[in-house]
Structure 1
């Protein structure tokens, strides 16, 4: 699909276009306050997300929900925009996670995971606070590397989506499944551990993945990261497994294991769902914790 080229005035009035692809790439030339809206309709409404790039005199970027404060995520980004040259960015929304990054960096400079599922159907752009903007929007164009390898998602095991990594490294387009207490994204992984293939979480800053097993939060240096995955989270309980749940591994006894997550202590932590045990286990605070109420990842 061809690029969309447009100019925005100093009005803080969004121009919307349909896009439910889950990602958008764009170039923008502005002195400050390049704003992007993600909405269910072609208008400002609730629920809606906004990403403000280069706000506060081109010093900070934030993510906001429903046009209200406090902002749900904030990051210092001094001089990220330029009035005389185009700067390139991408925005991605999937599995309740909103993220934004620079064109040649697969890691977002800001991201936030919501607990509510919001079906994004429209993207809007605008400028304000003394700035006008020139935009070139690659609507529907895949992110660099996105879809590479022609992964087959027809199977709920999605074996082609797992990428080997180690030492805290995060492959391009890794699937963000949660966040820790500081807001750092947590990625969905699986690890060979004690005879099983166990789903868990990757905390990149720790240089390791963690899996729940044997009552402990176990650190594993080598792991596989779920990448280029377009699934969603479904609320479940007591070992229930919905249709198309992602089969991510198996226990040491050969029982299928699924990817689950739980909100606990201000964190959204990823772990394993084991149907015969009727719960989701998460690795947290050095322990393996179990919860009867959880979300499960489906294709």
Structure 2
């Protein structure tokens, strides 16, 4: 979804630098080992400096390093993550001091670290070494074009928002999907349609449109106009990207996991685009924040860093997160109907601390309470805890059951899961009620037979 820089790097550990204007870079690399990425303030190897080594040590490990000094800030095993015979896609992101890297098409990073003293990144450098040469295809973030043809160009999303700039006479079309194709379910946002007179939100390519708004002159063929689109807990929001003013909003009663976006033009219009695939740090929240305490930095802070609260009664920690973010090491409790992992999460609601579920692509966690599925933008995710589940029923809480929260009356709540309509969904076990409650399809559902998480 952007122009591509083709770069070759020799086996000499010398970085080639280029400027960046957003908080992320996407690339493909073909190399046997040791793809090195540097983040700097200037186009040279000068401190301060972050380095991400992918496939180092003979293509067995990946690390994050600061200022070229050891010990590594983070080190993980990544056997065979690179391949000398094929391109492998990755992204690197820097946001509020959090440095993270992930695979193309995956929202969850495989490595991340929070710098307590971050610096502004202005340049990215790439190099190879230790016996490896590399061929890179790097997205430089420059504008790209769409022809007068109603065919979407698709790209992946990594969070619940998309920032774009469009220059064209009319008919700026954006779609949000669960795959890189025009398939249902699908949201479509048409800005400046009908000869630049109105804008709409459409669901599954069907009329009538969910939202219709008169927007005369919203587009301009001679200048870029900026917009932000956000989806969270079924709530789809379109804002003016410069003022932040809301333009259109619609609540989907049956939201689906958004993994890709597409852009196109038509009806006599050609367009120039600038796309930010990932949200930028420092931006104001696009949707009004809930009353819960503010979340900590994205992904997991290091031990002892603010935002981590010890779990009482067992191993593991609860890590603050927001907007669909998943910390490394999060406990997988099940899977959604689509096959997407469901993580063990909890959130505060109506005076209670309630275990629930997190499916990252939905942009929020869900907790069951009051007969409803309640979406929570700010939540905690269980990291490094147990993943042993014991079948039980009713009010039979086995010894060692893992505590996950408490009701508004102070009753302990445990973490349970049930199979329902093709999903394996986590929720809360309330002993006095004799059931496991889950969030599903907008409702709170209770099941007398369930599995419970034990330490």
Q: Structure 2-normalised TM-score?
A: 0.41
2: CA distance, partners of 1:13 / 1:28: 16
- The answer (yes or no) to whether the contact 1:58–1:81 under 8 Å persists in 2 is yes
Q: Could you tell me how far 1:219 is from its partner in structure 2?
A: 2.9
Q: Could you tell me how far 1:132 is from its partner in structure 2?
A: 1.0
2:298 to 177, 188, 194: 177
1: CA distance, partners of 2:9 / 2:357: 47
Structure 1 residue matching 2:363: 3-state secondary structure: strand
When residues 188 and 163 of structure 1 are mapped into structure 2, their CA distance, relative to the original with a 3 A threshold, is: farther
Consecutive unaligned residues of structure 2, counting only runs of 5 or more, are 144-154, 163-173, 176-227, 230-238, 261-276, 280-296, 304-315, 334-342, 365-376, 380-403, 407-455
- The answer (yes or no) to whether the contact 1:25–1:141 under 8 Å persists in 2 is no
- The answer (yes or no) to whether the contact 1:23–1:140 under 8 Å persists in 2 is no
When residues 79 and 43 of structure 1 are mapped into structure 2, their CA distance, relative to the original with a 3 A threshold, is: same
1: CA distance, partners of 2:101 / 2:349: 34
Q: Which residue of 2 aligns with 1:188?
A: 322
Q: Which residue of 2 aligns with 1:144?
A: 156
- The answer (yes or no) to whether the contact 1:16–1:124 under 8 Å persists in 2 is yes
Structure 2 residue matching 1:56: 3-state secondary structure: helix
Q: Which residue of 1 aligns with 2:345?
A: 209
Consecutive unaligned residues of structure 1, counting only runs of 5 or more, are 191-199, 227-258, 262-284, 288-299
1: CA distance, partners of 2:97 / 2:252: 22
Q: Could you tell me how far 1:260 is from its partner in structure 2?
A: 9.7
2: CA distance, partners of 1:165 / 1:78: 39
Q: Which residue of 2 aligns with 1:33?
A: 34
CA deviations 1:159-196 (Å, max 9, x no partner) are 97x99999xx9978897624164899752159xxxxxx
Structure 2 residue matching 1:57: 3-state secondary structure: helix
2: CA distance, partners of 1:20 / 1:183: 35
Name which one, 1 or 2, has greater alpha-carbon Rg.
2
1: CA distance, partners of 2:319 / 2:258: 11
Q: Structure 1-normalised TM-score?
A: 0.60
When residues 9 and 222 of structure 1 are mapped into structure 2, their CA distance, relative to the original with a 3 A threshold, is: closer
Q: Which residue of 2 aligns with 1:294?
A: none
Q: Which residue of 2 aligns with 1:225?
A: 363
1: CA distance, partners of 2:254 / 2:73: 30
Superposition map of 1:23-62 within 5 A: 23-62=24-63
Q: Which residue of 2 aligns with 1:67?
A: 68
2: CA distance, partners of 1:185 / 1:145: 23
1: CA distance, partners of 2:114 / 2:254: 23
State the Cα RMSD in Å: 4.4
Q: Which residue of 2 aligns with 1:2?
A: 3
Structure with more contact order per residue of length (Cα contacts < 8 Å, sep ≥ 6):
1
- The answer (yes or no) to whether the contact 1:95–1:117 under 8 Å persists in 2 is yes
- The answer (yes or no) to whether the contact 1:164–1:225 under 8 Å persists in 2 is no
- The answer (yes or no) to whether the contact 1:163–1:225 under 8 Å persists in 2 is no
Q: Which residue of 1 aligns with 2:94?
A: 93
Aligned residues: 225
Structure 2 residue matching 1:120: 3-state secondary structure: coil
When residues 56 and 157 of structure 1 are mapped into structure 2, their CA distance, relative to the original with a 3 A threshold, is: farther
